[in-house]
Structure 1
Amino acid sequence: MIKKKPPFKRMSPPQTLALGFVLIILIGTILLMLPISTISGVSTPFIDAFFTATSATCVTGLVIMDTGTHFSMFGQMVMITLVQIGGLGFMTMATMIALVMRKRISLRERLILQESMKQNSMDGIVRLIRKVLFYALFIELTGAILLTIRWSFDMPFAKAIYFGFFHSISMFNNAGFDLFGSIHAPFNSLAGYAHDPAVNLIVMLLIVLGGIGFIVIADLLEFPKNKKFTLHTKVVLSASGALIAISTITIFIFEYSNPLTFEPLTFAQKSLGSLFQAISPRSGGVSTMDVADMRQATQFFIVILMFIGASPGSAGGGIKITTFVILLGAVIAMIRGKETIVFFRRSLSKDRVNKAITMTLLALMLIIFVSMVLSTTEDHQFLEILFEVTSAFGTTGMSMGLTQDLTTFGKIMISIMMFLGRLGPLTLAYALTSKPEKELIKYPEDKIIIG
């Protein structure tokens, strides 16, 4: 008699990832509902705790209650722990524990790690995880020290250390949670440091490093030895740099004469503000300006940036910068009459193009559908709703003020969008479908008219 495997071991890697995130969110919800998690000692309602736990685990940053004024230190530590687990991936954290305890990483666990890190093969996956953990902890520690030094001039040293570590982890994991509601004003993000070059530069660097992905960071650090970059790293770095530059100039132009944002500022302050708002929407989620005060053109442009998102294998969301670049490459190739997409003298296979198109269409349809549904349940302008939905899907965390006014149904829908954005529509689709079967019949090709 053949012994059946337990249900958990019969699950595919995408199913395991989806279930793992759900369990972490539920545990986080229970902990945030405890009276000890709030400053007032009053238990947080289930739906609000669930929304916050989802936002933290999916490293989004959308909040119903201000983190600094509603949650106690215990609640804040629960949230930042969820951010760390969600940002690095629960399987990465589990692997770290296994490595510390010197346990063997099974083939199944390697498959799940491969799925979570968006790798094409299992070769060297455990070695990559070791590097991921080392780089992440080193960058977070460095960021925490730098922020602690800066904020020690504004607050007691012990508080500066706590703020430094909390915000370094939050920014590197592209979560966007902040505690400055307890110092400045609730839901004020980093507006109190809008003109502070040190805070701006440290936070922007943490967001960029967290958004380009661990694979790229590993490639950068190994460049002195290898003397070359992979195609993935070349595309991510060049595309990210170009997008940041274009976004900075666009926001600078749109907001230059806006009396509510840039008009009162000096040229240097406008430039710094434009750069920060160009980097943060890619999944960072913090802002030094009130997004609601920006012009509609800027707000819609930020929606586009949130939709594009960060890099694969990072803590960021969106369709990913590589997907966007492949789509652009396909358009350019089609216009030039070419059959293949070429980047840096390397051609891409058709399955990469098909996957990019599928990912983009799924994301677009999802955002459009949820935005249409919420436009009937939430008493807000459509652009505000579209902004909120895209922010949730891109796990960005920016808001035009809708989050605090969401109905219960709205909170559930935005929570689902955050979950889908972190996991990825394709991963969820694979989790919900059975194993693909080989095509036994190949039908003759034909053509339909396009355009």
Structure 2
Amino acid sequence: MKFSKELKKIYIKLVVRWRRLYKKYRNDFRGVEVELYDLNDRLRPYFRGLSLSLMLLALASLVGSFGFELPTEYQRLNSYLEFVIVLGFFGLFLSRIFFTSQRLQLIKSHLLEALLLSLLAVASLFYLLGIDSIFLVWGSLLDIDNTFRLLVFLTKIYLILLVVAKVIQASPILISVQRHPARVIVGSFAFIILFGAFLLMMPLTTVDGQGLSFVNALFTSTSAVCVTGLIVVDTATHFTTLGQSIILVLIQLGGLGIITFATLFAIFISDRLGVGQMMFLRDVLSEDRAHETFSTIKRIVGLTFFVEAVGVVGYYLSWEGVLPDPGNRLYHSVFHAVSAFCNAGFSTFSNSLADPANALNAGVNITTMFMIIVGGLGFTTIWELVRGNPRRKIRNRKWSLHTRLVLITTGLLIVGGAVMILALEWNHTLQDYATSDKLMLGLFQSITTRTAGFNTLDIGALTDGTTVVFLTLMVIGASPASTGGGIKTTTIAVLMLTVITTIRGKSRVEVAKKTIPRSTIYTAMTAFTLAAACLFLFTMLLTITEDLPFLDLLFEEFSAFATVGLSRGITSDLSTAGKSIVTLSMFIGRVGSVTLALAFAKRVDKQQYQYPKESVIVA
């Protein structure tokens, strides 16, 4: 439809007038923008202080409402406090928008916060206007029949997400301040362990309503974050659903690494990372190319969630006859899928998977073994198996030397371990089982022993010979860049190749037409030596503090340091000193003895000179 000439003239006049008014507005308020910019700089420290205070209040309110059984009057008072906190965040956010000259950039960098505030503001407005029918429909799905209670619930969800967002937004700042990757890794694990211990001390996390003592909470939190699986109380019967959920989150964070999660979400909800921060993360993730750091993080998280989803389906189908309730079955499936992939060994069954319904369930065994193997191969190896060697210009199936060593060593350990376990236990622990069940149980023990910690047999009933096999498999552990522990498969492979090279009289370690650098050999020797020193020291300390059989203490220490989680039944009998020693062992074993040494060692600049050589008789 064509406009008449008069309408066109009116339209043009309006456009011209609007542009003049907008230009005049911009000129008149340019000085105000400069004043606001200066004022914003002066107010920024106060904004940060108020934001931190509100976040601490929100965290305290959430812990009080979820972790403690508050009286009715305090519950309502806490609900009003949460609304006041939300109003404080709302006023702070509007103040920041008013006092800044880059409003659009501020909203983009705090998009999650802006979205949550908008949704909560709309919900509150509808509630005040009495238009609450739509909320009662959604509330019925959550078993909430009162609009006020639903609004309180939404407020809690908002505060939880906001606290998470605030912590994540701070991660790029922390990364830019601290340039030492080893110290950040150690510090991040220590922080999440202490925070997890504090959460597990809340009364509502345990069935008896008492919470855990500090020593037991610290032990359990360390075991979860370090994906070990050693327990001082029964996870299935001692913890409530809240307590088990906290353990599950700690396992997921510890399996993937806190830095990986924080960086991924920080990039999504905050500004992109700078060059210095990307270089730092490259060192944390052992990535050769800094520009592919973010892609590496996305691959790690994406692969994790995909494999865990496959595990959930496998467990869900396998427990159809054991757990008839779909919701309960899904909960157990999710918990075990995360625990198995992260090689944690935590279970929502009192005797892990050793009861007949699980020990002889082919679906449960196959799913668990698949999850343990994939989680223990390492993200670098998994991605190379999926997409080929990224370092080759032509993408084909010729794998890198790292992937070859991982696959060969893993295969030899699984097969060799299974054969030795079957040979030693065929007429002992396995004598009452059918042949097919013996093979499955032997293979499962060989796979889980290296780092996972699930068991389908009574570990305390095994022969001494099998126990020695377990000790060997445990100390070797999984592969680098994986969710498992131990001194790593490639470390053993490099050391064995070095031994063979020395025996044959060669000067270089060569395999598959490749030469392994001396720096790699030195790192492997350092990892092995530090691990041996730690195992010797902590085992000796346990023999001093505990009045228990030496083999049981040795097994416990190997299991803790290698983050395996298998035990001969003495974990709960350890004294406070013994639990502290095992806790420290789990922490060092997870972050790595080499990483811990690098975090506190004084670095020496590269030397530009070399002293004369002189031989020493060593053998």
Shorter-chain TM-score bucket reads over 0.9
How far residue 323 of structure 1 moved from its aligned partner, in angstroms, is 0.2
| CA gap 1:74/1:360 in 2 versus in 1, 3 angstroms | same
Alpha-carbon separation, structure 2, partners of 1:191 and 1:426 = 39
Counterpart mapping for 1:79-98 below 5 A = 79-98=247-266
Equivalent in the alignment of 2:443: 275
Aligned partner (choices 216, 221, 231) of residue 401 of structure 2 = 231
Whichever residue aligns with residue 13 of structure 1, its letter is: P
Equivalent in the alignment of 2:528: 360
Residue 412 of structure 2 is aligned to residue 242 of structure 1: yes
Equivalent in the alignment of 1:288: 456
TM-score by length of 1: 0.94
What is the number of equivalent residue pairs in this alignment? 440
Equivalent in the alignment of 1:431: 599
Counterpart mapping for 1:44-443 below 5 A = 44-101=212-269, 103-120=271-288, 122-155=290-323, 156-181=325-350, 187-192=351-356, 193-223=358-388, 225-258=395-428, 261-439=429-607, 441-443=609-611
Alpha-carbon separation, structure 2, partners of 1:6 and 1:308 = 34
Equivalent in the alignment of 1:184: none
SS at match of 1:412: helix
Alpha-carbon separation, structure 2, partners of 1:8 and 1:37 = 36
How far residue 437 of structure 1 moved from its aligned partner, in angstroms, is 2.1
SS at match of 1:318: coil
Whichever residue aligns with residue 169 of structure 1, its letter is: V
How far residue 80 of structure 1 moved from its aligned partner, in angstroms, is 0.6
SS at match of 2:585: helix
Alpha-carbon separation, structure 2, partners of 1:109 and 1:152 = 47
Equivalent in the alignment of 2:80: none
| CA gap 1:85/1:106 in 2 versus in 1, 3 angstroms | farther
Whichever residue aligns with residue 196 of structure 1, its letter is: N
Per-residue CA deviations over 1:352-376 (Å, capped at 9, x if unaligned) read 1111011101000110111011111
How far residue 119 of structure 1 moved from its aligned partner, in angstroms, is 3.8
Alpha-carbon separation, structure 2, partners of 1:241 and 1:148 = 28
Alpha-carbon separation, structure 2, partners of 1:41 and 1:109 = 44
Equivalent in the alignment of 2:196: 28
How far residue 6 of structure 1 moved from its aligned partner, in angstroms, is 8.5
- Farther-moved stretch of structure 1 (439-448 vs 12-21): 439-448
Higher CA-based Rg: 2
How far residue 188 of structure 1 moved from its aligned partner, in angstroms, is 4.2
Per-residue CA deviations over 1:134-157 (Å, capped at 9, x if unaligned) read 110000011111111221321111
Determine which structure has greater relative contact order: mean sequence separation of CA pairs < 8 Å that are 6+ residues apart, divided by chain length: 1
Alpha-carbon separation, structure 2, partners of 1:189 and 1:404 = 19
Asked if the contact 1:55/1:62 (under 8 Å) is kept, the reply is yes
Whichever residue aligns with residue 246 of structure 1, its letter is: G
How far residue 118 of structure 1 moved from its aligned partner, in angstroms, is 3.6
How far residue 165 of structure 1 moved from its aligned partner, in angstroms, is 0.4
How far residue 441 of structure 1 moved from its aligned partner, in angstroms, is 4.9
Alpha-carbon separation, structure 1, partners of 2:452 and 2:292 = 29
How far residue 343 of structure 1 moved from its aligned partner, in angstroms, is 2.1
Per-residue CA deviations over 1:153-183 (Å, capped at 9, x if unaligned) read 21111100000000000000000000012xx
SS at match of 2:290: coil
Asked if the contact 1:248/1:275 (under 8 Å) is kept, the reply is yes
How far residue 226 of structure 1 moved from its aligned partner, in angstroms, is 3.0
Structure 1 stretches lacking a partner, 5+ long: 182-186
Whichever residue aligns with residue 399 of structure 2, its letter is: F
How far residue 347 of structure 1 moved from its aligned partner, in angstroms, is 1.1
Per-residue CA deviations over 1:73-113 (Å, capped at 9, x if unaligned) read 00111001000000000011012212332631234443443
How far residue 338 of structure 1 moved from its aligned partner, in angstroms, is 1.3
How far residue 114 of structure 1 moved from its aligned partner, in angstroms, is 3.2
Alpha-carbon separation, structure 2, partners of 1:90 and 1:151 = 32
Whichever residue aligns with residue 415 of structure 2, its letter is: A
| CA gap 1:114/1:414 in 2 versus in 1, 3 angstroms | farther
Asked if the contact 2:418/2:442 (under 8 Å) is kept, the reply is yes
Structure 2 stretches lacking a partner, 5+ long: 1-172, 390-394
Alpha-carbon separation, structure 2, partners of 1:108 and 1:86 = 25
TM-score by length of 2: 0.69
Asked if the contact 2:201/2:213 (under 8 Å) is kept, the reply is yes
Q: Return the structure number with greater helix share.
A: 2
Asked if the contact 1:62/1:403 (under 8 Å) is kept, the reply is yes
How far residue 117 of structure 1 moved from its aligned partner, in angstroms, is 2.9
- Farther-moved stretch of structure 1 (20-29 vs 104-113): 104-113
Whichever residue aligns with residue 295 of structure 1, its letter is: T
Whichever residue aligns with residue 416 of structure 2, its letter is: I
| CA gap 1:118/1:380 in 2 versus in 1, 3 angstroms | farther
Alpha-carbon separation, structure 1, partners of 2:615 and 2:336 = 55
Asked if the contact 1:64/1:403 (under 8 Å) is kept, the reply is yes
How far residue 50 of structure 1 moved from its aligned partner, in angstroms, is 0.5
Alpha-carbon separation, structure 2, partners of 1:348 and 1:145 = 41
